[in-house]
Amino acid sequence: MTPNDMQLKQLNETVLYHLQAIYSDVSPEKPLQQLADEIISIMRLDDTFHEVIPHKNNWDQHDMVLITYGNSVQRQNEAPLKTLHHFLNEHIRDFINSVHILPFFPFCSDDGFAVMDYYEVNEKLGDWKDIEHIAQDYRLMADLVINHGSSSSEWFNNFVKGEGPGHDFFFTAPQNAPVSQVVRPRTSPLLRETETEDGTKYVWCTFSHTQVDFDFRNPDVLKEFINIVRFYLDKGIRIFRLDAVAFLWKRAGSNCLNLPETHEVVRLMRSLIQHAQPDAVIITETNIPNRENLSYFGNANEAHCIYNFSLPPLLVNTMVTGNCTYLKQWLMSMPPAQNGTAYFNFIASHDGIGLRPAEGLLSEAEIASLINTMQHFGGQISWRAGDNGVKKPYEINISLFDALQGTTQGKDDWNIDRFICAHAIMLALEGIPGIYIHSLFATSNDLEKRARTEQNRGINRHEWDYDTLQNKLADPDTQHHKVSSLLKKLIHLRQQQRAFHPNATQFTLHMGEHLFGFWRQSMDRRQSIFCIYNVSDTPQPLRIAELNLVVTDRWWDLISGHIFDESAETVSVAPYQVLWITNG
């Protein structure tokens, strides 16, 4: 037996182990060994098997992800994906190397997250050639909408008919199923009554009634999604965002969230993807409380990256209160990511500022104050069904630029400074930064789209006309030009610092309520950076001696260039000023 045969045999055993854990309480019709063989064949691992280097970091400080819809920038008489590609090459290429294009498939609702056909590109956006061309120039991230599919899909139509591909893909439950404990991000009824050729059935809808949950108890569903993964790899996709994966497995009488089988499916996906494409990455999208979110790292054998969902609400709260206490407490409690895993940091997205990840981190009074402040700045509130159907706030829908236009005391003149300070915190934290396209260009609330679509999330999903945006970015007096220029400078600075590697050492500093700070050290220990931020609207004194700078090193601020010659020096840190003090 050759070494490659031995490794393939070991992978087969690993896949079988995962399947046995997934289906321990289910009795599939076919033997699990046969299923393991079929899965390996689907991924073509018997022909393209790659050895995996344990704990390898497929990223460094140069990596930065732009998050965008396929039609966020549009031009007449041109497919939006082509327009986006042109725009990326003109404005993004020099400082961002990865792009997350939100669902670009045919869909029926939720701006793409109710997928009708996983193998097609929405013809209103373009085609697979457009996707492949972008993937040639950027590391492409795409959504694997794995929990649910569209009620307008061929699969669901076949479910209604009771025959054809996908007819047995969807999760059903008795009308009187015990679902009071089920945790969901929506307030609509969980079960949707559906008339089929086999009579009335009740399909499970964690999100909306146009998004019907898949039944992963059926191994054919698992096989189908593995086939989709293989197809996406062939199209050049290298980062897989597992959308809403925490809800994947259902069990009667439980909360149907983060069940062991769900984690095992993620482990299986990682085993398969990393052997098929060693530089490919899995990111789990789990908008849930912090401790549960962290569990998706597993033992460096589940997600390569997890969304740092607690960062947006904590950071926005910090910036509008001028008090970093909660943010500092959270940062001190965060475990360093093992090599081979990393945090995915973001502070704005296509959805909103999630409040579930703030549970247990912010008090109810603090959350209520944050909600009240955001509503004064034009924000909307989306709700979810909690335990026993109790209605709770789920997320704040608002553009980040407008969210930071003031403090709990109201609007002020520090909008841009506060906005840049927030991003400077994100850019320096342990992890890989992701920046939403509308943050990069300081897009304000789109109240017209919110009213037209009657969807709260529409407020932060503006669609720019290409020429209009070009003109605003070229005008030095606009917020769009000012913010974009400042962010680009910070990103360039970040990429030149070894201490900003996503896995470089990080320690939290203690400098009171108004100065937030942490220390980063490069993996070779040759560079240190003290990252210090005034998160308030008043100047704050900083005694350099408190940083315990090594006296034999030369220290200066990367942003201003100021050199710190004396350890006894005290500097005044202006409102929302950023200091990145380094020794090289």
Cβ neighbours for 250, distance < 8 A, ≥ 6 positions apart: 171, 173, 204, 213, 256, 259
- The 10 Å Cβ neighbour count of residue 315 is 28
Q: Is 350 annotated as a binding residue?
A: yes
Q: Helix, strand, or coil here: 348?
A: coil
Q: How far apart (Å, rounded) are the C-alpha atoms in residues 463 and 420? A: 23
570 burial class (0-12, 13-18, 19+ CB within 10 angstroms)? Answer: exposed
Report the C-alpha dihedral over residues 489, 495, 499, 500, rounded to 10 degrees: 80
CA distances from 29 to 33, 198, 380 (A): 12, 21, 48
| Residues known to be catalytic | 243
CA distances from 41 to 31, 85, 120, 230, 339 (A): 16, 34, 23, 10, 30
* Residue with token string 């146009």: 210
Q: Is 241 annotated as a binding residue?
A: yes
DSSP structure class, residue 545? G
Read off the tokens for 527.
């560079």
Q: Is 148 annotated as a binding residue?
A: yes
Contact 183, 196 (CB under 8 A): no
Q: Is 110 annotated as a binding residue?
A: yes
Angle 99-488-481 (CA atoms, 0-180°, nearest 5)?
Answer: 105
- Of the candidates 412, 384, 397, 306, the one whose C-alpha atom is nearest the C-alpha of residue 349 is 397
Contact 271, 11 (CB under 8 A): yes
Q: In sequence order, what E strands does 146-279 have?
A: 148-150, 191-196, 199-204, 211-213, 237-243
- Of the candidates 432, 396, 436, 394, the one whose C-alpha atom is nearest the C-alpha of residue 419 is 436
DSSP structure class, residue 298? T
Q: Is 557 annotated as a binding residue?
A: no
Tell me which amino acid residue 292 is.
Answer: E
Q: Sign of the CA dihedral 579, 416, 83, 70?
A: positive
Q: Is 209 annotated as a binding residue?
A: no
Q: Is 351 annotated as a binding residue?
A: yes
φ, ψ for residue 27, nearest 5 deg: -120, 85
- Of the candidates 349, 354, 503, 515, the one whose C-alpha atom is nearest the C-alpha of residue 425 is 515
Say how far residue 443 (Cα) sits from the centre of its chain: 20
Strand 353-354 relative to strand 391-397, pairing? antiparallel
Angle 288-291-293 (CA atoms, 0-180°, nearest 5)?
Answer: 45
Q: How far apart (Å, rounded) are the C-alpha atoms in residues 124 and 130? A: 12
Q: Which residues are annotated as a binding site?
A: 110, 148, 241-243, 350-351, 457
Q: Which residues are annotated as a binding site for substrate?
A: 110, 148, 241-243, 350-351, 457
